[in-house]
Structures are given as C-alpha cells and as structure tokens.
C-alpha cells in the first residue's frame, strides 16, 4: 500500500533523476561544443602547414560546388518565382507592386540565397563529408593515414572545410542570380510588371551592401557546415550504424547552425554594412 | 628476455585509462631482424601496446624506445616523420576505397618520396608483382578484390617506403585456411627478402597456429603484462598455465 512518505520519496526520486538527466545532457552538449571548438582550432593549425594538397581541394570544390549547381539552379529559380508571386499579391493591395523585383532581389540577396544554399549544402555535402570520413574511420583507413605519418585532419578535413568555405558563397551568388532571373520572368510575363519599372526600382532600392551581407553569411555557413560535417565524420564509431548516426547528426546540426547563425549574423551585419 | 640493440624496447611502460590499467609496468624488448609475435586474449592490451610502439598514444609512465629513439623526446611533427620507419598491415588491409590497387600502393610514394610519376608507377607495379598480384588487378578498386588479394595490396603499400619495422595487426583473423597460409607465407617471405634491409617484424595476433608456424619469438600478454616471452620452440613447451590453456585452443 502506498503511504504518504512513500509517495513523497518517489516524487523526490523522480525529480532528482529528472534534474540529473538534464544535467547530463547539458554536460554532454557543452563537451560536444568544446570538442568542435578544439577541432576548429586544430583545423586552423593544419590549414597553414605544408604540404598543401591542392588536388584534394580541387576535388572537393568539384564535389561541393559543381555537383550542387543543378539543385541550386532549380531551387534558386523557383524560390525567386514564388517569392515574386507572393510579394506581388501582397503589394498589389497597397499599390506598390512595382517594388516586387527590388524586394525579391533584396530578400534573396540578404536571406534566401545564403540560407537556402546553406541548407542545401548541409543536406548534400555536409552529410557526404560525415559519411565519407566516418566510413574511412570504421574501416581503419584513417588509422592507415596516421600510421603513414599523415595527419588525418590535414588530409581529410582541411580540403573539405576550405572547399566548403569557398564553394558556398559562390553557389549562393548563383542562387541569387538565377532567383532574380526567375523573379524577372514571372514579374514581367505573368504578373505584367513593366520591365523598365522592374529594373529602375531594383537599381534604386538594392545596394551592394545587400549582396555583401549575403556573401559574408554564405561564407560563414560554408565554413560551419563543413566543420560540422567533418567533425561528425571523425566522431563515428561502431560500424555502419555509427556512420548513419554521424551522417544524421551532421545534417541536423549543419542545418540548425545555419538557421541560428543567420539571426546573429543579421544582427551584426545590418549594423556594420 | 633482453636483447642487445633491440628494434623496440618498452621500459616500465604503464598505461592507465581512468581507473583501468591496460599496460602494467611492461618491460619488453623486440629484437631486430626477427619475427616476434605478441599473443593474447581479447582485451589483453595488444592494440594499446601497438599504439605505444607507433607513438600514437603516450604511456602514463615509462619509456618506449624504437630504433634507439625515445619517442617521448619527439614532438608531434617529428613523431609523424619517425612513423615512416613503420609499415603496417591492418586486419582488413585498410585500403583507401576511392583509389585503385595501384593508386593505393603509389600513395605513400607520392606523399613522401621524390620519385617521378613514372618511377612511382614502376615501383608500385614491382611491389604488387612481388606480393603475387597479377597486372589485371592493378586497376581494380579494393571492393573488387578478395580478402587475400586486399591483404597483398595492403602489404605492398606497407612496404612501399622500405620500412625498418613491419607491424601486422591480426593478419590471419577471419581468413580461410588457404588464405591464412598464403598470408603467413607472405609474412615470412617479406621478412626474408627484407632481412638485408634490417626488417623487424612484429605480429599482434590471437591466432596460435599461424603464429607458431612463422615466429622466431613469441610473447604472451595478459592483463597488461608479458607473462611469457620465449623463442618459439620453447614457447610451445611453456609450463605457464595461461599459455598452456591458450595453446590448447
């Protein structure tokens, strides 16, 4: 039979367990974050050390950049078209539909191009980085590099992180360009906005600083996504299951980081630029 | 057992991970130009010992001296340079799966030698032929090779930079008897051929039969201690209860 004391004891016990589990997960998160910071420090140490393996950088640029172009073209064009259409119907209510091209361009430049490019690259290349390195780790290929005297971070992480940092802003620029083409086509053909007004408002309201904001954001996203992808690759343990888990974590944390960083970068960049 | 001018010397080496002692005051010499096998049950500390020899992990106390060099005196960069004295054949060969057979063998040569591309290609082909691989396999990916062929490629890659110490991590575990014999023959042949270059062979294994056939010396590791270390003929007659039990398996 349950007594009053027994009930109080079990509630206390449950509460303590709950607090302990929260403490443990906070502890794990802080440890994980610390490990990522150490990994990043390690990257900066090795990125300036010889030998510079340019062929590996080119391979990664091809993989992250070239192989993402098609999906970026698709995503960019349709995002520009949708954004222009939605803006048009909103703006028409207050008779400022002539601003559709300018607003779409600013929205794409500052937010949509870098963020969506970041999310796409996190899903495509970030996961691939974790899977490639993770598979190499569980099959002792990483150990083989180390035994040969090759630093695995320098050989595997450095080219991927550098390539990611270079490729994402470039992809974002393509996204921005093709998004504006989509916006222009929809605006002038389907929404019947005058072409001259479309361009005059665009040049009046859009500034170089807007493009810079997007490029800076995309560069940071590229770096962070690649650090996270490679970090989770090196954390892989326990065979195929571990590779799957590492890949999954790389995608989740890559995407979450893009969204969180976007806010903080916006706060900083609108003041600077 | 003590040797004069050993290839590897572990002096009072202890390694602890938290409360757990993995290597317990290990004193152990490995002679040059011989095949020495370290036997032991799973969890005996064999892999940790191997990582100490390679300088991948530092002992909690004690010294690891390889080819006369105290590894503790080397910084991380020098340690990496020093590791080029080793060749290692991993349990599953650890070939780079994005590279072909010949690219795997050429890899260390491209990274560290000053040979021209044609010289690298020539040497890689020579190494692959020496370990018994036919030219039609040179451009295959590791996934297209059998377990035995992968071991051959792994060995060719390990020998590419003419190492002074060749390490084998469980070389015959999980292989069929014919492939096991092939790998054993390859180990002996490699040791013989490279004897003039002063090649020392260290095998980490729990495959008793394979070990006794090819080793010069056998050490038995148990709970971080070498409990028996003898020339192979004497090891077979060891009276140590653990060794006797192991030999019966």
d(CA B192, CA B198): 10
Name the average pLDDT for chain B: 89
Query: Percent of chain A having pLDDT more than 90?
Result: 82
Q: Is A78 part of a structural domain of the chain? A: yes
Does residue A1 carry a pLDDT above 70? no
Q: Is A252 part of a structural domain of the chain? A: yes
Kindly report, residue by residue over B180-191, the tens digit of the pLDDT: 888 888 888 888
Q: Give the gap in angstroms from C-alpha B212 to the nearest C-alpha of chain A.
A: 27
What is the per-residue pLDDT for A2? Answer: 67
Does residue A6 carry a pLDDT above 70? yes
Does residue A200 carry a pLDDT above 90? yes
Q: Is A130 part of a structural domain of the chain? A: yes
Kindly report, residue by residue over A249-264, the tens digit of the pLDDT: 999 999 999 999 999 9
Does residue A196 carry a pLDDT above 80? yes
What is the per-residue pLDDT for B139? Answer: 93
Q: Is A37 part of a structural domain of the chain? A: no
Which of A60, A129, A141, A153 to substitute to test the interface with B, most B CBs within 10 Å?
A: A141
Does residue B140 carry a pLDDT above 80? yes
Question: What residues does B21 pair with on adjacent strands?
Answer: B16
What is the per-residue pLDDT for A199? Answer: 93
Residues of B in contact with A147 (CB under 8 A): 54, 56, 83, 86, 88
The interface predicted TM-score (ipTM) is 0.86
Measured torsion, CA atoms of residues B196, B202, B205, B210, in degrees rounded to the nearest 10: 20
Contact B94 A151 (CB under 8 A): no
d(CA A246, CA A150): 23
Q: Which residue has the tokens 């039969």?
A: B209
State the pLDDT confidence band at B241, using cuts at 50, 70 and 90: confident
Top-confidence residue, A32 or B105: B105
What is the per-residue pLDDT for A142? Answer: 94
Q: Which residues contact B1 (CB under 8 A, 6 or more apart)?
A: B29, B217, B229, B230
Does residue A44 carry a pLDDT above 90? yes
Kindly report, residue by residue over A209-224, the tens digit of the pLDDT: 999 999 999 999 999 9
* Angle, CA A210 vertex, CA A122 and CA A207 arms, to 5°: 155
The interface residues of chain B toward chain A in range 23-52, judged by CB-CB distance below 8 A, are none
Query: Percent of chain A having pLDDT more than 70?
Result: 99
| Cis bond upstream, residue A51 (ω within 30) | yes
Q: Is A56 part of a structural domain of the chain? A: no
Contact B94 A143 (CB under 8 A): yes
Does residue B15 carry a pLDDT above 80? yes
**Are A134 and A233 in contact, with CB atoms under 8 Å apart?**
yes
Q: Give the gap in angstroms from C-alpha B202 to the nearest C-alpha of chain A.
A: 15
Does residue B240 carry a pLDDT above 70? yes
Contact B94 A144 (CB under 8 A): yes
What is the per-residue pLDDT for A144? Answer: 93
For B48-69, b/e burial (b = at least 16 CB within 10 A) is bbbbbbbbeeebeebebbbbee
Contact A149 B91 (CB under 8 A): no
A208-234 helix and A4-47 helix, angle to the nearest 10 degrees: 110
Q: Is A112 part of a structural domain of the chain? A: yes
User: Hey, is the C-beta of B117 within 8 angstroms of any chain A C-beta?
Assistant: no
State the pLDDT confidence band at A81, using cuts at 50, 70 and 90: very high
What is the per-residue pLDDT for A235? Answer: 94
In this prediction, residues B140-154 reach a mean pLDDT of: 91
Which of A63, A132, A144, A243 to substitute to test the interface with B, most B CBs within 10 Å?
A: A144
Top-confidence residue, B41 or A176: A176
Contact A141 B91 (CB under 8 A): no
Contact A148 B111 (CB under 8 A): yes
Top-confidence residue, A44 or A50: A44
What is the per-residue pLDDT for B105? Answer: 96
State the pLDDT confidence band at A138, using cuts at 50, 70 and 90: very high
Question: What residues does B40 pair with on adjacent strands?
Answer: B221
What is the per-residue pLDDT for B88? Answer: 92
Does residue B18 carry a pLDDT above 70? yes
Kindly report, residue by residue over B90-129, the tens digit of the pLDDT: 988 899 999 999 999 999 999 988 899 999 999 999 999 9
Does residue A104 carry a pLDDT above 90? yes
If one counts the domains in chain A, the total is 1
Top-confidence residue, A41 or B208: A41
Does residue B248 carry a pLDDT above 80? no
Kindly report, residue by residue over A151-177, the tens digit of the pLDDT: 999 999 999 999 999 999 999 999 999
Q: Is A199 part of a structural domain of the chain? A: yes
Residue of A nearest to B85 (CA): A148
Residue of A nearest to B163 (CA): A148
Residues of B in contact with A150 (CB under 8 A): 80, 111
User: Hey, is the C-beta of B195 within 8 angstroms of any chain A C-beta?
Assistant: no
Residues of A in contact with B94 (CB under 8 A): 139-141, 143-144
Residue range of the domain that includes A238: 67-272
Q: Is A257 part of a structural domain of the chain? A: yes
Residues of B in contact with A140 (CB under 8 A): 90-92, 94
Least confident of A132-141, A156-165, B39-48: B39-48
Give, in order, the Cα–Cα distances in Å from B125 to each of B104, B160, B244: 11, 11, 44
Residue of B nearest to A141 (CA): B94
Question: What residues does B37 pair with on adjacent strands?
Answer: B203, B218
Name the average pLDDT for chain A: 93
A-side interface with B, Cβ within 8 Å?
51, 135-136, 139-141, 143-144, 146-151
């Amino acid at each position: 039979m349950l007594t009053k004391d027994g009930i109080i004891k079990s509630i206390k016990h449950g509460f303590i367990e709950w607090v302990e589990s929260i403490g443990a997960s906070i502890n794990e998160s802080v440890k994980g974050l610390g490990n990522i910071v150490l990994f990043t420090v390690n990257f900066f140490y090795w990125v300036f050390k010889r030998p510079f393996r340019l062929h590996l950088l080119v391979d990664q640029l091809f993989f992250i950049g070239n192989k993402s172009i098609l999906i970026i073209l698709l995503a960019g064009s349709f995002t520009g078209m949708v954004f222009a259409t939605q803006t048009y119907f909103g703006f028409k209510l207050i008779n400022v539909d002539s601003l559709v091209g300018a607003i779409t361009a600013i929205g794409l430049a500052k937010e949509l191009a870098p963020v969506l490019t970041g999310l796409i690259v996190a899903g495509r290349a970030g996961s691939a980085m974790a899977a490639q390195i993770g598979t190499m780790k569980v099959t002792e290929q990483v150990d083989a590099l180390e035994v040969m005297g090759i630093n695995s971070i320098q050989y595997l992480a450095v080219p991927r992180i550098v390539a990611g940092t270079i490729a994402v802003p470039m992809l974002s620029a393509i996204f921005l360009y093709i998004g504006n083409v989509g916006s222009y086509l929809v605006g002038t053909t389907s929404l019947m906005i005058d072409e001259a007004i479309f361009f005059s408002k665009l040049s009046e309201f859009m500034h170089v600083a807007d493009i810079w904001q997007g490029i800076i954001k995309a560069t940071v996203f590229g770096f962070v996504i690649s650090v996270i992808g490679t970090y989770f690759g090196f954390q892989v343990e326990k065979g195929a299951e571990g590779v799957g888990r590492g890949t999954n974590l790389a995608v989740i944390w890559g995407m979450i980081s893009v969204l969180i960083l976007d806010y903080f970068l916006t706060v900083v960049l609108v003041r600077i630029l | 057992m003590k040797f004069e001018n050993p290839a590897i010397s572990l002096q009072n080496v202890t390694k602890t991970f938290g409360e757990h002692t993995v290597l317990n005051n290990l004193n152990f010499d490995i002679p040059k130009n011989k095949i020495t096998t370290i036997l032991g049950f799973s969890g005996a500390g064999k892999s940790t010992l191997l990582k100490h020899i390679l300088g991948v992990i530092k002992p909690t106390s004690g010294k690891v001296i390889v080819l006369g060099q105290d590894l503790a005196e080397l910084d991380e960069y020098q340690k990496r340079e020093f590791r080029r004295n080793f060749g290692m054949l991993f349990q599953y060969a650890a070939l780079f799966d994005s590279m072909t057979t010949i690219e795997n063998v050429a890899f260390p040569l491209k990274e560290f030698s000053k040979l021209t591309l044609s010289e690298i290609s020539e040497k890689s082909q020579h190494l692959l032929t020496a370990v018994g691989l036919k030219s039609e396999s040179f451009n295959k990916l590791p996934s297209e090779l059998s377990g035995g062929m992968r071991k051959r490629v792994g060995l060719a890659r390990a020998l590419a930079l003419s190492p002074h110490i060749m390490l084998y991590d469980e070389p015959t575990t999980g292989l069929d008897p014919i492939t096991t014999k092939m790998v054993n023959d390859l180990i002996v042949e490699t040791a013989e051929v490279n004897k003039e270059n002063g090649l020392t062979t260290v095998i980490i294994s729990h495959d008793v039969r394979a070990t006794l056939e090819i080793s010069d010396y056998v050490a038995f590791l148990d709970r971080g201690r070498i409990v028996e270390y003898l020339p192979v003929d004497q090891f077979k007659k060891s009276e140590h209860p653990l060794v006797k039990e192991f030999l019966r398996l």
